């Protein structure tokens, strides 16, 4: 079974590979949602236009897994909820994944401020 390396099918394959190692994301987000929101979380997988997985609490995205088939480097877990960043980094240690705050991935964001339209 060969590994697709380009296009959407390659990204979808990498997404499945990374997800097979990330049960801890579900556990951390579930604990956080129950403790701070008193509500369940929701995990949604999106196939197009770019394969990704989002975790949300009360319809607000708190984390997003981004996989780029054209980038041979690790997948990225972008954490939107600052309170989740440290627990996720502590429990997930993998060379296949980098974990960072979502503002780190946005060149328009300045020190936690919202980007200007």
Specify the pairing of strand 60-66 against strand 75-79: antiparallel
Lowest mean pLDDT among 14-18, 66-70, 97-101, 107-111: 107-111
Token digits of residue 107? 């060149």
Token digits of residue 87? 């627990």
Using a 10 angstrom Cβ sphere, with 0-12 exposed, 13-18 middle and 19 or more buried, the burial of residue 55 is buried
CA torsion sign for 112, 43, 21, 83 is: positive
Confidence of residue 1 (pLDDT cuts 50, 70, 90): very low
Write out pLDDT tens, residues 2-55: 444 444 566 677 777 777 778 889 999 999 999 999 999 999 988 767 778 999
CA–CA distance, 14 with 12 (Å, rounded to integer):
5
For residue 113, the number of C-alpha atoms closer than 13 Å in the C-beta half-sphere is 6
The confidence score (pLDDT) of residue 9 equals 65
Instruction: Record the pTM.
Output: 0.74
Q: What are the beta bridge partners of residue 98?
A: 76
């Amino acid at each position: 079974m060969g590994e697709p390396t380009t296009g959407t099918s390659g990204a979808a394959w990498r997404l499945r590979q990374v997800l097979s190692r990330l049960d801890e994301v579900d556990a951390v987000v579930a604990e956080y949602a129950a403790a701070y929101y008193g509500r369940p979380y929701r995990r949604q997988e999106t196939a197009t236009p770019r394969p990704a997985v989002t975790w949300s609490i009360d319809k607000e995205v708190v984390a997003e897994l981004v996989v780029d088939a054209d980038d041979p480097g690790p997948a990225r877990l972008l954490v939107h909820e600052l309170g989740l960043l440290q627990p996720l980094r502590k429990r997930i240690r993998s060379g296949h994944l980098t974990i960072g705050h979502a503002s780190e991935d946005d060149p328009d964001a300045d020190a936690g401020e919202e980007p200007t339209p």
